[in-house]
Amino acid sequence: MNYFYNPVRTYEGEGTIELLSDVINSMNLSSKRVLIIGWCEKVLENNAFLKLSQTGCEVRSIAFTASNPTVEQLFEVYENTKDFAPDVVVAVGGGSIMDVGKSLCCLYGKDIDNVDMLREVIADKKFLGPAAKWIGIPTTAGTGSEVTCWATIWDPQKNAKRSIEDSENYAYAALVDPDLAKAMPVKLAVSSALDAAAHAVESYWAKRTNCASRAFALHAIKTIMGNIDSLLKGEEKSHEFMAQGSMLAGMAFSNTRTTACHSISYPLTMHYNIPHGAAVSMLLAPVLKMNAESIDGIEALLDALGVKDADMLKERIESILKQSGQPVSLKEWGVKENDLDMLAKQGITKGRADNNPIEITEEKVKSILESIY
C-alpha cells in the first residue's frame, strides 16, 4: 500500500544556517553534544557553528572530504567519534556527507569492532533505531539527502553498493540555505539540478507513487526546469530556486524512490565516471518515451517539464548539458560500443528497475543506451 510519511522540519532561504542554534535548542536535549561533519575545513569556520559553543553545546567538528563514502571510511569516522557519543550530528555538505552523518546516527551505541562487523550490521539492518538525531545542511542543490532516510555506502572491496536505511532516521531538521550552494561551479550546479529534476520525474511515475509525492514532484520540476536557464547564466537568484526544487524533489522521492533512469545510470557512473546528474538526465527522455503510455497524468508532467513530448525533452536536456560544457552522448563520454551489452545487463538494479511503471528488460535497456550513444 503506497503512503506518504516525512517528518523533517524544513527551513529554507538565505541565511537559514544562522537558525542552527535555535533549532538545536528546540530539541529539548538533556545534554547537547554536537558533532559537526563538514565537506571541508573551510565550511566548519561558519559563524553559525562557532556560535553553538556559546549556547551551551559541547561541539566537535570534523572534515570528511571524500565523495562516495566507503565502509572503511565510515568505520574510521565512527571509531574516531563514538566515544564523544553525540546527541546531534550536523552534516554540512553534499549527499556523501549527509549519507555519512545519518549513517553514524544508526551506528552509535553498538559495539562495532571492525569493518567486517560493520558490514554485518548493515547487511542485517539491525539498527534498532538511531542513537542520535541529525540535521542536514546541504551545500549542493541536487541529492535531496537532507529529507530522505537512507544512505548509500560503497564497498568496492566486495564490489557492492550498500544501503543504511531506517524510517526512524529522518533528519530532525533540514536547513536549506541557497547561499551555501553559490560556490558550486556551473557544471556541478547544472548536473546537480538535473539529478534533482530526475528524482521528481521518476517519483511522479514510480510504482510507489502517491498523491503527495506527485504534488511535490510537479512543483519541483517546474521550479528547476523553469529556472535552469537562469542558473546557466550565473544569475544569483537561481540558487534559491534550485535549493527549493531539490528539497521538494527530495520530499517527493523520499517515499517513492527512483526508477529506470537511476537504475540504468549506475553502471555508467561506475565504469565511465559520468557525473551522476548528467548520466541520469540523458536517460530521462528515452525512459519517458518507453514509459509514456503507463504514466498517469502525463500531460501535467510534460507541462511541468515545459515540453510537448519525449523528443522535445531530449533536445532540451542536450541543450542544457551543452551550455554547461558537458557531453550529450555516451560516445562523447568515452563509452565503448562493445560495452553496451554489459551496461544493459548491469543497468537493471534491484529496487529501482522493478519500481518502474513498466517492466524493463536487458533488450529495452540496450535499445535505450543505443538511442543516446
Residues forming contacts to Fe ion in the complex (CB under 5 A) are 195
Rounded distance between C-alpha atoms, residue 88 and residue 208, angstroms: 31
**Terminal Cα-to-Cα distance of the chain (whole angstroms):** 38
Nearest to 221 by CA among 156, 288, 267: 288
Q: How far is the CB of 195 from Fe ion (least distance, A)?
A: 4
Q: How far is the CB of 348 from Fe ion (least distance, A)?
A: 17
Q: How far is the CB of 143 from Fe ion (least distance, A)?
A: 6
Q: Which residues contact 277 (CB under 8 A, 6 or more apart)?
A: 142, 190, 191, 192, 193, 194, 195, 196, 198
Q: Which is nearer to Fe ion, 59 or 365 (CB)?
A: 365
**For 128, which DSSP code?**
-
| Angle at CA of residue 69, ends 67 and 75, nearest 5° | 145
Tell me the residue type at 332. E
Supply 364's cell numbers. 529495452
Cell numbers 519517458 correspond to: 288
Q: Which is nearer to Fe ion, 87 or 195 (CB)?
A: 195
Q: Which is nearer to Fe ion, 48 or 197 (CB)?
A: 197
Q: How far is the CB of 266 from Fe ion (least distance, A)?
A: 10
Q: Which is nearer to Fe ion, 195 or 318 (CB)?
A: 195
Q: Which residue is nearest to Fe ion (CB)?
A: 195
Supply 28's cell numbers. 529539548
Q: How far is the CB of 57 from Fe ion (least distance, A)?
A: 33
Residue 127 in contact with residue 166, Cβ under 8 Å?
yes
Q: How far is the CB of 200 from Fe ion (least distance, A)?
A: 11
Q: Which is nearer to Fe ion, 69 or 86 (CB)?
A: 69
CA distances from 285 to 187, 239, 307, 339, 364 (A): 20, 25, 11, 22, 14
Q: Which is nearer to Fe ion, 21 or 258 (CB)?
A: 258
Q: Is 350 exposed, middle or buried (0-12, 13-18, 19+ CB in 10 A)?
A: exposed
Q: Which is nearer to Fe ion, 146 or 195 (CB)?
A: 195
Q: How far is the CB of 203 from Fe ion (least distance, A)?
A: 11
